[in-house]
Amino acid sequence: MIRSITAYTTEIDDAEQAAADITSALDLSKLLKNTVGIIVCHNDFVDSGAAEAVCAALPFPTVGVAALAGLISSSADNLENFLLSVLVLTSDDADFSVGLTEPIESAETFGNIDKIYKETAGKLSGPPKLVLSYLPLGILTVSSDEVVRKMDTLTGRATPNFGSYSSSANLEFTNAFIIVNGKHYRDRYAFVLISGEVNPRFFCAAAFFSKNMPKKGLVTRAVSNMIQEINNKPPIEYLKEAGVCSNAEEFNASAVNFPILVDYNDGSNPVMRGAFHITEEGHIFCAAEVPQDSTISISIADTEGILRSFDEVIDFANSAGEASAVLIYSCIGRYWMLQTDYQKEMSAALERIKPSFQLAYSGTEICPVAFEGSDKTANRSHNITCVVCAL
């Protein structure tokens, strides 16, 4: 069984004090045989050196992301964005092993992940039953879908993969870091392999599943995250027929308000994709892969849908039985769409989620999806979605 301990600090400028805040809040005498810490912090904690000092003061490995905003259950009524939190996972019968690739220069070499995965998995007492994945937003050498498929190849497709990309207020993502043992990176993939007694449960809450325009389209030509044809026509024709817009310029001015629901047509639950814009070639550029032969529909984004979907997250977290910890990664797109109401999602978490939890606003989410009428799952990347892992 995995147990959890939580701690946080708001101290940015005094790194020594930040470390003291965390270590004094954690009762280290409660640590069991194997331990890992999941860290989430605002980018400023990395810049000031506070994140590195905190990790150096802890007697176990740490891994996680810098995020525009985050929250942890022990932070009471503190809804400030400027927070560093640590969710400690500790167990006598589950093992944790942290891996970090070399710089990822291409999907072919993938930061020497084959060798690093083998070394990381070799430290476990048995095969991994869960992967926690952390990547920097803005890495361009591999896509989120390539990351998911690569880890599937290494672990076997039955091994669930859950995680988050970093996020940043800087739209160039120059400070969207991952953090491993206090060091920060913008070009590597960090992961935690967990074996032994671990029984994770997962939930995906896309805000707009219930608000879809009725017109569906078959993706008849696509390459990775570029939709090139829908129903054997240029994508703009489908968008016109669906009533989304009358031309590309109109769509590009409001694309964020029209996420795309993608059904892989393989029996798995659909996933949400953010649409960036229509390119000069007339293709829809999306935030993640949209496979050829998938079926799409256009969703309508609004605050009501986001908050209603977070109610589902809370219900799931509270129904997770004897869960000792809940990881929640909510897309930064949801945060931006909520605008001045963003604290409603965070305050609802603090007020109503019963198990210990850690929440981070994510650049891209990774979470398994279920197949209807089956125990089978498939690991997927997500956009504009809140994903949950109960341990």
Q: What is the pLDDT of residues 97-106, one digit of tens each?
A: 999 999 999 9
Q: Structure tokens of 101?
A: 């690739």
Which residue in this structure is represented by tokens 């672990």?
155
Strand partners, 379: 368
Share of the chain above pLDDT 90, in %: 75
* Ramachandran area for residue 40 (φ above 0: left; ψ -120 to 50: alpha; else beta): beta
Alpha-carbon distance of 296 to 309, in angstroms, equals 20
Q: Structure tokens of 344?
A: 């409603």
pTM of the model: 0.95
Regions of the chain short of the pLDDT cut 50: none
Secondary structure (DSSP) of 95-163: EEEEEEPPP---TTTGGGHHHHHHHHHTTSSS--SEEEEEE-TT--SS-HHHHHHHHHHHH-TTS-EEE
pLDDT digits (tens, 9 = 90+) for 259-290: 899 999 999 999 999 998 999 999 999 999 99
Q: What pLDDT does residue 256 have?
A: 76
Torsion angle of alpha carbons 335, 338, 344, 349, nearest 10°? -30
List Cα–Cα distances, 31 to 100, 302, 309, in angstroms.
24, 43, 35
HSE-CB at 311 with a 13 A cutoff on CA atoms is 6
Alpha-carbon distance of 197 to 95, in angstroms, equals 8
pLDDT digits (tens, 9 = 90+) for 6-42: 999 999 999 999 999 999 999 999 999 999 999 999 9
pLDDT digits (tens, 9 = 90+) for 71-95: 888 876 666 668 999 999 999 999 9
Q: What pLDDT does residue 331 have?
A: 92
Comparing CA positions, the residue from 168, 259, 226, 200 lying closest to residue 387 is 200
Q: What angle do CA 67, 71, 73 make, to 5 degrees?
A: 150
DSSP 3-state assignment of 26? Answer: coil
